[in-house]
Amino acid sequence: MKTPVYFISDIHLKLELDSKERIRQQKLFRLLDYIIETGGTCFFVGDLFDFYFEYPDLVPKVFNDFYAKALFMKSKNIELHFLAGNHDYWVGDFIKNDIMDKVYLDDLEITINNKRIFITHGDGLLSWDHGYRLLKKIIRSKIFTRLFQWLHPTISFKLANFISRSGSHNTHNEDFNKDVRNELQAKAEKKFENGFDFMISGHYHLGELFDLKNGKLAVLGDWFFRPSYAIFDGDDLKIRHWETNE
């Protein structure tokens, strides 16, 4: 994997491309253009799309601008990696073979320059997420996917657009965020005790870097209220914020 490696999460490209969404999309594209200038690898750590379900002979056309940008990045020798999130797990051959260089359907570890990095989208990671972990097994099962394919795409995408509340509020309350920080740091410390140098998580929209005793934890921000990315330069991990919210 070529360095620098840029980690971006929780972009939530929407199913309705209105003027507000176009502004948000262009903000992302300015970062992607910057990545083209520096070279390296772009790693999407889940929830790139607010909802993505790929039918055997159909993909969501609303994301055509992103598809084109991704293909242009690849033409400029930028590696594209994608770890599926809870909003966009149901990728198919188009994303796996045409758009991304590599797709991951579960947490993973990578080693670059002898640095071990644990990467997770983060959904279901918290100890109290018992119900969600059960739901996760169901909605990611082959049976659920096969049944969902029987829904007409117009119905399934309208249903997903109605259910999603991404970007409708800024953040969870501070007590919840405090609990998330504490638990993620504890999980990261366990990873570091097992030889990892860095841990990267999405899903919780914090946009924060924690310099812990034995390593660094990056909890990436969302692209509604705190656009940010983490960058691994081959030696160290940092988190940077990208532009202000117009």
Chain-wide mean pLDDT for the chain?
92
pLDDT the model gives residue 170? 67
pLDDT over 70 (residue 8) = yes
pLDDT at 246 over 50: no
Whether 144 and 41 have beta carbons less than 8 Å apart is answered as no
In the block, residue with structure tokens 């924060």: 208
> When comparing pLDDT for 99 and 149, which is higher?
99
Model pLDDT for residues 118-177, shown as the tens digit of each residue: 999 999 888 888 888 888 888 889 998 888 888 888 888 888 877 776 766 666 778 888
Angle subtended at Cα 27 by Cα 165 and Cα 238, rounded to the nearest 5 degrees: 90
Ramachandran sector of residue 152 (left: φ over 0; alpha: ψ -120 to 50; beta: rest):
beta
Residue 166, beta-bridge partner list? none
- pLDDT digit string (tens) for 21-80? 999 999 999 999 999 999 999 999 999 999 999 998 889 999 999 999 999 999 999 999
Categorize the per-residue pLDDT at 216 as very low, low, confident or very high, splitting at 50, 70 and 90.
very high
CA distances from 206 to 88, 220, 224 (A): 20, 6, 12
pTM value is 0.92
Whole-angstrom Cα distance, residue 246 to residue 235? Answer: 33
Q: CATH classification of 5-241 is 3.40.50.970, yes or no?
A: no
The lowest-confidence range among 96-105, 143-152, 210-219 is: 143-152
178 forms beta bridges with none
Task: Give the pLDDT confidence score for residue 12 in this predicted structure.
Answer: 95
The whole-number pLDDT of residue 244 equals 59
Where in the chain are the domains? 5-241
- Decide if 51 contacts 13 (C-beta within 8 A): no
So what's the pLDDT on residue 132? 81
Inform me whether the pLDDT recorded for 191 exceeds 90: yes
Could you give the C-alpha distances from 123 to 8, 129, 153, 241, in angstroms and in order?
15, 9, 26, 22
Confidence at residue 245, expressed as pLDDT on a 0 to 100 scale: 46
